[in-house]
Chains A and B, each alone.
Chain A
Amino acid sequence: MTSLKRSYAADPSAQNLSSKVYVRSTKSGKVQKIVRELYLRQDIPCSSRLCSRCVENAPTDYHNKVSPFVLSETPAGTKSFPQGHYLVPDTNALLTAMDLFEVETAFRDVIVLQTVLEEVKNRSLPLYHRLISLTKNEDKRFYVFFNDFRQETYVVRDAGETINDRNDRAVRKAVQWYSQHLQAAVKARRSGRTPAVVMISDDRENLRKAEAEGISALSLSNYVSELENANQLLDMVSERREQRDNRGGKVELLYPEYYSISKMMTGVKAGTMHQGIFNVSQYNYLEGSVHVPAFERSLLILGRENSNRAVSGDVVVVEVLPKDQWKAPSSKVIEEEEFNKDDNPDVEEGEAVVTDRERRALQEEVKRVQGKGVEGRPQPTARVVGVVKRNWRQYVGHIDKDSVRTSNRESRAQQTVFLIPMDKRIPKIRVRTRQAGELLGKRVLVTIDSWDRESRYPVGHFVRSLGELESKGAETEALLLEYDVQYRPFPKTVLDCLPAEGHDWKVPASLEDPGWRGRRDLRDLLVCSIDPPGCVDIDDALHARQLPNGNFEVGVHIADVSHFVKPNNAMDKEASMRGTTVYLVDKRIDMLPMLLGTDLCSLKPYVERYAFSVLWEITPDAEVVNSNFTKSVIRSREAFSYEQAQIRIDDASQKDDLTKGMRTLLMLSKKLRQKRMDAGALNLASPEVRIQTESETSDPVDVQTKRLLDTNSLVEEFMLLANISVAGKNYSAFPQTALLRRHAAPPRTNFEELQNQLKVKRGMELRTDSSKALAESLDTCVDPQEPFFNTLIRIMATRCMMSAEYFCSGTQAYPEFRHYGLASEIYTHFTSPIRRYADLEAHRQLAAAIDYEPLDPSLRSRSKLEAVCKNINVRHRNAQMAGRASVEYYVGQALKGRVVEEEGFVMRVFSNGFVVFVPRFGIEGLIRLRDLGTPEPEGEFDAENYVLRVRGSREVNVELFEKVKVRISDVAEESTGKRKIRLELL
């Protein structure tokens, strides 16, 4: 009889085999016990260039390649380690000071242990991803050492040992092994000095044990203090909890505690709580709103206590307050700066969450709301009971000069100061710094570390200084950071993907060249491009000619970017991350490297270029007979600006074929436009201005509103047509994974306010049941005396719309594809691949749809496309906002030191102020009661009629839509440090 024995003993490899048993609980609350094998090995290299032994038995991958060794032979040293050192950070060091490790000038040659990496992943995924990207940065020389798989450094958890203690022990063991290993390696080389292996930890117990075991170890601050720019670096360490905890036993808890995750989850499931994104009002920092599916209108969150440490952008769980506490949204402008000027950043005791002045401001609100009848329409209010996900990012701001104790530059004493973010919706951030004096008057980047119950403001730490306030460099960088625009130069890996010929690249002369495969030769067509003046990245070109049957052949030729940017290479990844080119007033942040964007892809005149062409046969009535897609080679005959093109078309003496083609295009475009309008496309307006700059210094001189010519809409119409045609083709080829763009119909409630305003003030009706009805009723909103009135209404209507978004066709039902604004069933972006990533993806899909090349799998996977869509949606929005902010900044600069009187229109009325829009500069500004005169005049706000009656030191009635005269001057705004325009009522 044989028996089944435990098989390990007999196995010679058993000594290398260990197992890992751990328990985890699933989402549904079940507890699972997981048993995993662990194969311990001896061929995990130390990755130090000093070591020759590890090189010999370094592992190879499937392609027989060895990964290069990372750690330098001569690492940098400090005073205590003149021979140089490798750093081994402990988990807590990485968690508190990731910013520090990312500094370019220090923290090189770092060994990240597997134990630490796993712990970091457990604690914070974003930090984990940052750490992983650090290991990929060649300059930083970070190496991940899999200590738990190496026989010598593997540590078995002792009975009764906590997992943390075990991990600390594993770290120490690895450090010990490394130093012995390096000593042996150096001895074998018989040269040089042995770098020290230094553990960086903030755990006192761990440091003590390390010392006892003879391992060199330092706390983070001790280590940093020996570096060159220690003061600056020390500020980058996160504010830690314990530092504040030990500041006197009793701390007053200012905010209610968050509910536990499970309580929130059950609450959300049961419908007693709601989850959504917390948004703070631009005008009133005490009023937030959360849109949840259960309520048609957003839930209001009033006051600090109710918003309970949520920061704008966080995903929160809220609980609806009883009905008697429901309120109408505030009609008052409340800015933090006015109310809490005198807070002292150092004093924490005796702080109340709501200061008296704030309370009074809120109180008045409540009274006003309850005094009103049905008209006030109280909105449900809620309070935040927990935060599901923090969406904290890095914030740009400036140090509040009143909060600085000693502004002495030499003082190195640490003090706590307030940072006032540029974004008004973000609360002040308390920052501890040793360089307060130096940072005054500078743009500063900080991150928030935590916001505890006992602290009124969140606590953060300094990241870096961008430069002087109001200097062009600092303000532009601030703007880019604030809108998360990637503006660093392209890394080498990206530039390596460019064609080796550089600017000398040409369309191959021989038709046998693989580049010509599947391409049509359209070089003899009379193609031209029409763009804004000074445009260098020419995405599109057009042509039209008459066919023998009386119809027209019209072609839209788009730069063939997908020929140069292959899926999944470094350049493609960079472009997909950037998502779009960002246009600022004086600067363009490209999505693709210059060489492609402005030369090789750009459809410049007189040279041959690869293109992706859409060719239609169109009847003289602008009906599309058929459409055809092909990769091609074109030679643009001329690059026009809108104005030049207009002049050429209007000039009757020009009778050449090119001009005739352009006239045909113009004629067809007008008919196309009419058709679109008939279908219910909206003609919306947004204030657009152009900044004229001095050519050399690019300092702004003047501001002009943009002019629209016929040729603008000529190009636009054909681009729309191309986009629509391509969308249809891609969708039919890839019903599940076509990348499309949709514009959802706005919910009726969005227009309620505007409808009511129009009815009360002008007796006009705005119908919103369909885009056609809206377009028609917008046309009727005309004031014969005031031509601008219609535009104003259109601007306001635009703001009520949803924003258009990219999506993957499999995620929505076909009726949801609709583009509301363009009144098209289906739409995508195809025509600007140089500056938008979505277009590039559409190009790839179209190329696959016409069997030009196989589709990359990343474009076939719905989940991947969804991720791409999500990113480009965000990037697109950010780019728009950054562009607008840039215009705003330059308008401010252009008006600097000037005083202008202009006409403006009242756009919005609050109980203590009103917003005026000045069409001439495309700016809107707030005029508060206290700006009207001193002492602050009394204001009586008639919400039903949108009238603010001002009495007292100044007597005037301000009505909505009223035309007013304002004086525009500029002022450096205290609260955000921006130079802003100031409006005064005349």
Chain B
Amino acid sequence: MPLDTSTYSLALLRLDGRRWNELRRIHAQISTQAAADGSSYLEMGNTKVICTVTGPAEGRRTAQGAGQECRVEVEISIAGFSGVERKRRGRADKRTQEMQHTLTTAFTSTIFTHLYPHSTITLTLHVLSQDGSLLAACLNAATLALIDAGIPMSDYLCACTAGSTANEDADEPLLDLNGLEEQELPFLTAGVLGDNDKVAVLMLETRVRVERVEGMLAVAVDGCKRVRGILDAVVRAHGRRIVEEGV
């Protein structure tokens, strides 16, 4: 039994040795699948996600008729081996559907959908490994893949989580929770558009005292901006390589 989050106050160190305001290691690559229109691979700590983008392609005819804007479809599949326990999740899994819905609405408002009438953009995400901040990782991976596919959107949509220590007298926000912390602490996921404070996604599913939310949100927004810096560097490095190597 290793220590749990209650020891945070002893030395201001979290379970994995981070401070309250530190992100986990983020590693990202884009254009990982040549066959896809756009693709990315993203690691936030031990959470690993692959994302591919298909489209914009001619959409299926739906009952509502083809709109003037393109549709965004999101498919998430969570590998059975991704968690601690081997578990198969079917398509109808409620949590997966909810995440799909969140991503769909988030990107429908971020992508310039009016440029592609009568068409569909499909985002396919594969979760290879889970260790907390899953929704945030999916959002980040999707952003990268969309950029790789060259689909115009208003800005980077970057996300991360923030939690709060359970300590009553001195509750402190924590940035970017890992799986173990997520189990023990209340946390929210925030997605921020660009380098300003525009919150595009906000998800809070645990019970938390209302006084704490402000601090958590501030820390999360700050974290999103840092994530944006990292993703931007990845994109720029990739662009430079294309220019230099002409790949």
Contacts and interface: CB of A to CB of B under 8 A. Distances in A.
A18 to B, nearest CB: 9
A773 to B, nearest CB: 46
B16 A37 contact: yes
A178 to B, nearest CB: 15
Given A4-B29, A7-B43, A568-B168, 7 more contacts: A36-B15, A36-B178, A39-B17, A44-B13, A60-B12, A118-B1, A146-B10
A118 B215 CA distance: 30
Given A7-B43, A39-B18, A62-B20, A146 B29 contact: no
Contacts of A44: 11, 13
B11 A32 contact: no
A58 B25 CA distance: 22
Contacts of A37: 16, 24-25, 45-46, 131, 178
Contacts, number: 94
Contact of B215 (A32, A62, A858): A62
Contacts of B21: 62
Contacts of A114: 3
B65 interface: no
A135 B7 CA distance: 11
Contacts of B16: 36-39
A63 B22 CA distance: 15
Size range of the interface on A?
35 or more
Given A2-B32, A41-B17, A122-B1, A144 B10 contact: yes
B46 A61 contact: no
Interface in B18-58: 18-22, 24-25, 27, 29, 31-32, 34, 41, 43, 45-46
B42 to A, nearest CB: 10
Contacts of A792: none
A204 interface: no
B84 interface: yes
Given A62-B173, A62-B215, A67 B12 contact: yes
Given A4-B41, A146-B11, A11 B17 contact: no
B172 A62 contact: yes
A7 B22 CA distance: 20
- Find the residue from B27, B41, B219 having the highest chain A CB count within 10 A: B27
B209 interface: yes
A708 interface: no
Contact of A35 (B19, B24, B46): B46
4 nearest A-B pairs in the assembled complex, by CB-CB distance:
A149-B17, A39-B17, A7-B27, A62-B172
A190 B2 CA distance: 40
A135 B10 contact: yes
Nearest to B21: A62
A146 to B, nearest CB: 5
Given A118-B3, A144-B10, A858-B168, A59 B41 contact: no
Contacts of A858: 168
Contacts of B41: 4
B203 interface: no
Interface string B54-92: 000000000000000000000000000000110000000
A11 B25 contact: yes
Contact of B22 (A39, A62, A146): A39
B93 interface: no
A33 B84 contact: yes
A146 B25 contact: no
B115 interface: no
A857 B19 contact: no
A34 interface: yes
Contacts of A59: 11-13, 19
B18 to A, nearest CB: 5
6 contacts: A35-B46, A59-B13, A117-B7, A145-B11, A568-B169, A858-B168
A114 B43 CA distance: 28
A39 B177 CA distance: 14
A1 interface: yes
Contacts of B219: 62
Interface string B113-134: 0000000000000000001000
B204 interface: no
- Find the residue from B16, B22, B24, B29 having the highest chain A CB count within 10 A: B16
B209 A857 contact: yes
A114 B14 CA distance: 12
A858 B167 CA distance: 12
A40 interface: yes
A117 B209 CA distance: 31
B24 A117 contact: no
A132 B27 CA distance: 37
Interface in B174-204: 178, 180
Nearest to A112: B10
A11 B27 contact: yes
Contacts of B178: 36-37
Contacts of A510: none
Given A44-B13, A62-B215, A32 B85 contact: yes
Nearest to A26: B85
A171 to B, nearest CB: 16
Contacts of B170: 61, 63
- Find the residue from B3, B43, B169 having the highest chain A CB count within 10 A: B3
Interface string A99-130: 00000000000000010011001100000000
B224 to A, nearest CB: 17
A35 B45 CA distance: 11
A225 B89 CA distance: 63
A59 to B, nearest CB: 5
B11 A1 contact: no
Contacts of A63: 170, 172
A132 B8 CA distance: 12
